[in-house]
Amino acid sequence: MTRLFNTPAAFADEALEGFVAAHRRWVRRVPGGVVRATPTAPGQVAVVIGGGSGHYPAFSGLVGRGLAHGAAVGNVFASPSAQQVHQVAKAAHGGGGVLLTFGNYAGDVLHFGQAEERLNAEGIDCRTVVVTDDISSAPAEESAKRRGVAGDLAVFKTAAAAAEAGLPLDEVVRLAALANARTRSFGIAFSGCTLPGADAPLFTVPEGRMAVGLGIHGEPGLSEAAVPTADEAAELLVSTLLGELPEGVDTPRGLRAGVILNGLGAVKYEELFVVYRRVARLLDEAGVVAVDPEVGELVTSFDMAGVSLTLFWLTEELEPLWTAPADAPAYRKGALGPTADVSSETPETPEEQPEQTTVPQASEESRAAARTVLDALAAVVRTVDEHADELGRIDAVAGDGDHGIGMRRGSEAAYEAGRRALGLGAGAGTLLCHAADAWADRAGGTSGALWGVILRQVGTALGDADRPDAAAVATGVAAAADGVMRLGKAEVGDKTMVDVLVPLAGALGEAVAEGQPLAAAWDAAATAAEAAAKATAELLPRLGRARPHAEKSLGTPDAGAVSLALIARAVHGVLAAKND
Q: Which residues have a catalytic role annotated?
A: 217
How far is 241 from 522, CA to CA, in rounded Å? Answer: 53
How far is 54 from 478, CA to CA, in rounded Å? Answer: 36
Q: What is the CA radius of gyration of the chain?
A: 24
- Number of Cβ within 10 Å of residue 550's Cβ equals 14
- For the chain, how far is it from start to end, CA to CA, in angstroms? 49
- Number of Cβ within 10 Å of residue 269's Cβ equals 11
How far is 58 from 52, CA to CA, in rounded Å? Answer: 9
Helix (H, G, I), strand (E, B), or coil: what is residue 543? coil
Beta-carbon contacts of 211 under 8 Å, excluding residues fewer than 6 positions away, are 188, 189, 190, 192, 203, 205, 220, 221, 222, 223, 224, 306
Q: How far is CA 352 from CA 81, 150, 349, in A?
A: 15, 32, 9
- 50: alpha, beta or left, given left = phi > 0 and alpha = psi -120 to 50? left
Q: Name the percent of the chain in helix, strand, coil, to the closest 5.
A: 50, 15, 35
∠ CA 35-36-41 to the nearest 5 degrees?
Answer: 115
How far is 173 from 98, CA to CA, in rounded Å? Answer: 10
In 3D space, the residue among 255, 167, 182, 196 whose CA is nearest the CA of residue 6 turns out to be 196
In 3D space, the residue among 143, 159, 64 whose CA is nearest the CA of residue 102 turns out to be 159
Beta-carbon contacts of 354 under 8 Å, excluding residues fewer than 6 positions away, are none
DSSP β-bridge partners for residue 102: 130
Q: Answer whether 282's CB lies under 8 Å from 234's CB.
A: yes
Q: Answer whether 195's CB lies under 8 Å from 202's CB.
A: yes
| Sign of the four-CA dihedral 537, 539, 544, 548 | positive
Query: Which residue type occupies 13?
Result: D
Length of the chain measured in residues: 580
In 3D space, the residue among 154, 158, 110, 157 whose CA is nearest the CA of residue 133 turns out to be 154
Q: How far is CA 431 from CA 104, 427, 573, in A?
A: 33, 6, 20
Query: Which residue type occupies 411?
Result: S
Exposure letters 230-248 (e unless 16+ CB within 10 A, then b): beebbebbbebbbeebbee
- Number of Cβ within 10 Å of residue 291's Cβ equals 15
